[in-house]
Amino acid sequence: MNCRVTVEQGTLEGKVCTTYYGKRFYSFEGIPYAKPPVGKLRFRCPQEPEKWSGVRDATKPGNKCAQINPYSPKALVGSEDCLYLNVYTPCLPAEKVAKLPVIFFVHGGRFLVGYGDYYQPDYLLKHDVILVTINYRLNIFGFLCLHTREVPGNAGMKDTVMALKWVKNNIKYFNGDENNITACGESAGSGVVTFYLTSKMTRGLCHKIISQSGNLLADLVMMDEDPVQKARHIAELLGQEPSDKKSLYEFLMNAPVEDLMFAMISAEVDRPSYVINANFLPVVEKQFEGIEPFIEERAIVSIRANRINRMPILTTLNSHEGALFLSRNDAGDIEFHKNLQYFIPRYTGIKFDTERAEKFAKGLKEFYFRGEEFGKDEYLD
């Protein structure tokens, strides 16, 4: 059984579904919330979506964003044309019931992998809420930064803001309350939604935050590294040595998706085993006239200066998620076990292998393991 909703861009045809728990809901998937970021729009800030004529099929998800999926028979999956979202609602306005609160969910995946329909909506739709899930550009396509007008950085973060604006303007057509939107994220997605606390771009677009296993201060989310040098390294892996940013930009703009993705993975593999953050991450942007930045200053600076968007926040974690990073080095040692200094957040300003770092690591051991030695049986504690 199908159903229709008309939003600002045109009419959508979705479908009626039933949750695992036997509750009926309406599903609208593959809704474009921005222009496809292809051709000249590669690496650029997202553009407003275009209208369509007729009825658009919204019965299946849109393309995943380009990524290397280690669990797929086909390593390279997805497309650059990927800025789509999904809306799952237990009721529509024609049923004349009160507007429902909205959960805007941002997936995790270290800014490298993931997609909006990875999780089914059944569990959350046990409750009277509307769920929105999104795709946003990942890896080099979402987080390349050349500190230029063309590529100021944070395109993937700005994608999520464009999706949030779409929800703010259109969720009423799905019986959602545009004044009761909770942004919820997991892992890297948690980093995204907690940045909504400090970004001027998101002011007034959401009203509450749920943060699961991550935040804007975590090294997994942001590092003080040179993004332009990382971009040059990708070009070098592809046999190029651009002389300046302009030639670097032109090369990356015209490189095939497959080449960029596999060069990026080569760069990831070359990094030490204890490094858990991705190569391409959110950055503090340089200012350019007419281009609104998503991140204007380091998060810790904004927080200490009380420059934040005030809203309730629930912070939590997912059980055993850190087990993914218990990788071994060439000697067979688990790096985090060998030296707890790897857990010291960069924003503390504590330098590695110093007296302060040793004291901090000792405090971690006292707090979490009562000062005792620990082994593999305690890794998941």
The more confident residue out of 380 and 236 is 236
Q: How far, CA to CA in Å, does 299 sit from each of 50, 57, 145, 219, 294? A: 34, 40, 18, 12, 11
Please say if the pLDDT value at position 10 is more than 70: yes
pLDDT of residue 53: 96
Distance CA 143, CA 234 (A): 13
Residues 65 and 135: beta-carbon distance below 8 Å: yes
Number of other CB atoms surrounding residue 290 within 10 Å: 5
pLDDT of residue 368: 80
CATH fold for domain 4-224+279-316:
Rossmann fold (3.40.50)
pLDDT of residue 122: 95
Distance CA 267, CA 258 (A): 14
- Burial of 182-207, coded b for 16+ CB within 10 Å and e otherwise, reads bbbbbbbbbbbbbbbbbbebbeebbb
Phi, then psi, of 35 in degrees rounded to 5: -65, 145
The more confident residue out of 24 and 219 is 24
Distance CA 372, CA 349 (A): 27
pLDDT of residue 278: 86
Please say if the pLDDT value at position 271 is more than 80: no
pLDDT (tens digit per residue) in 319-339: 777 666 665 666 666 656 667
pLDDT of residue 81: 98
Please say if the pLDDT value at position 258 is more than 80: yes
pLDDT of residue 102: 99
Please say if the pLDDT value at position 8 is more than 90: yes
pLDDT (tens digit per residue) in 349-371: 888 889 998 898 888 888 887 77
pTM of the model: 0.91
Residue range 236-246: mean pLDDT, rounded: 94
- Domain coordinates in residue numbering, the chain: 4-224+279-316, 326-369
Residue range 42-56: mean pLDDT, rounded: 98
Mean pLDDT of the chain: 91
pLDDT (tens digit per residue) in 104-147: 999 999 999 999 999 999 999 999 999 999 999 999 999 999 99
Token pair 């939107």 is at which residue?
181
